[in-house]
Amino acid sequence: MKKSNFFAFISRMKYINRWGLMHSTKEENVSEHSL
């Protein structure tokens, strides 16, 4: 149980980090276009 939860937590963190990077780059591109 602990191992599966640990791997699920890591995979979830990787997914959140990847989504956060995509969101931040998207915001940066929008700000550049507005300028």
Domain extents for the chain?
A: 5-34
Spatial separation of the C-alpha atoms in residues 31 and 27, rounded to whole Å: 6
Residue 19 confidence (pLDDT) = 77
Residue 32 confidence (pLDDT) = 67
Residue 16 confidence (pLDDT) = 82
- Residues in the chain where the model's pLDDT stays below 50: none
pTM for this model (two decimals): 0.41
Residue 20 confidence (pLDDT) = 74
- Map residue 35 onto helix, strand or coil: coil
**For residue 19, which phi and psi values (nearest 5 degrees)?**
-65, -40
